[in-house]
Amino acid sequence: MSVPPKILLTGGTGFVGTNLAHYLVQQGCQLRCLVRRTSDVSRLPREVETVEGHLLNFESLQQAAKRCSAVIHVGGLVKARQVREFYRINRDGTANLIKAAREAGVEHFILCSSQAASGPSSPDRRRRRDDPPQPVTDYGRSKLAGEEALARGAGDMRWCIIRPPAIYGPWDKEFLPLVRWIIRGFKPRLAGGSMKFALIHVVDLARALSLVLETDYPSGAIWFATDGADHTIQEFTEAVEAAVGKKAHWITIPDWSLPVIGSLLELTARLQGTAAMLGRQKLTELTQPAWTCDDTPIRETIGYKEVFDLTHGMAQTVEWYQQQGWI
């Protein structure tokens, strides 16, 4: 019986990486995870091999990439106190990993990027993979720089990029405050509240990343992956209300207050020695007219199809929150 090839996963102790690690192990993959010294590895399946290291420590990346046939790069920085921190991890750290993988003879490199790298869409047209990127935040620009590093440095490795939109599901803490607000009877929205956006359940994203490993495709592909629908805050909150069994009342946040709110959240985080997730730049993303994207190419090329629509995906997520005692 042949031994399955070994896959190196970065970001395995984060939200997406945790779900992906469990999914890959269930599929019978031999998995190695790059983890930091301070990482909580208790979420990882016991079958996973771990290697201590960091994206800015090249020697640790060389060790992690040894005897691996593929790399799935999920690790990255989603919030930072200074702009240069985004670029050190999302661009320079990615470039380090690409170089280490290439030198180790890795055959296949998959980068899990973000729709933020491509930028927002218009309300009447989904963003397509060949549209010129127009990121509107430092995070998005740093993720685009990581994509460009892969295009430049991949060498003979077969590679692709998947740009997921907003992701929800088990272990997610970004949508958790909204769920808690709705349980309390309130649902916040920005003035207007008409933005269209794409979503994907984290297990569907894990399935897409896994399918890429199994599929022969032209190197250099860039894909979006979604649940196939365009959503509104009305739809999203209705799905949460159905999942928690409670109706909530709208609280409208006026546009003029957003810079003040963002600044206060950044100041609070700075005083606590952390970085704000919902700062001024994140609020800039939330005030765009649309964040929709066309994932037809990934469906046609690798046969991806979502399992979770919003109603069932949110019900599963809320049930998981309840089981963990988060709500």
pLDDT at 21: 97
Q: Which residues pair with 31 in a beta bridge?
A: 7
pLDDT at 264: 79
- In single-letter form, the type of residue at position 57 comes to N
pLDDT at 1: 38
- The angle at the Cα of 82, spanning 80 to 83, to the nearest 5 degrees, equals 90
CA separation for the pair 320, 23 (Å, rounded): 16
Cα distances (Å, whole numbers) of residue 291 to 15, 93, 154, 165, 252: 21, 27, 29, 8, 20
pLDDT at 7: 97
The answer to whether residues 159 and 149 touch, using CB atoms and an 8 Å cutoff, is no
Domain boundaries, the chain: 6-173+199-231+292-309
Question: What is the distance of C-alpha 128 from the center of its chain?
Answer: 18
pLDDT at 284: 78
pLDDT at 265: 72
Per-residue pLDDT of the chain (327 residues; tens, 9 = 90+): 345 679 999 999 999 999 999 999 999 999 999 999 998 899 999 999 999 999 999 999 999 999 999 999 999 988 888 899 999 999 999 999 999 999 999 999 999 999 999 999 999 999 999 999 999 999 999 999 999 999 999 999 999 999 999 999 999 998 999 999 999 999 888 756 688 999 999 999 999 999 999 899 999 999 999 999 999 999 999 999 999 999 999 988 877 777 777 777 777 767 777 776 666 777 778 888 899 999 999 999 999 999 999 999 999 999 999 999 999
Closest CA to 280 of 149, 139, 76, 94: 139
pTM comes to 0.92
Closest CA to 155 of 210, 108, 214, 209: 108
Side-chain half-sphere exposure of 80, counting CA atoms within 13 A: 17
With respect to CATH, is domain 6-173+199-231+292-309 assigned 3.40.50.720? yes
Closest CA to 5 of 39, 28, 34, 35: 28
The answer to whether residues 79 and 275 touch, using CB atoms and an 8 Å cutoff, is yes
DSSP-based three-state secondary structure for 80: coil
pLDDT at 200: 98
CA separation for the pair 214, 35 (Å, rounded): 25
Question: Residue 132 — φ and ψ, nearest 5°?
Answer: -60, 130
How would DSSP label each residue in 196-218? Answer: EE-EEEHHHHHHHHHHHHH----
- Say what angle helices 176-184 and 310-324 make with each other, to 10 degrees: 80
Question: Residue 89 — φ and ψ, nearest 5°?
Answer: -90, -55
User: Please, what's the b/e burial string for 222-259 (b: 16 or more CB within 10 A of its CB; e: otherwise)?
Assistant: bbbbbbbebbebebbbbbbbebbeeebeeeeeeeeebe
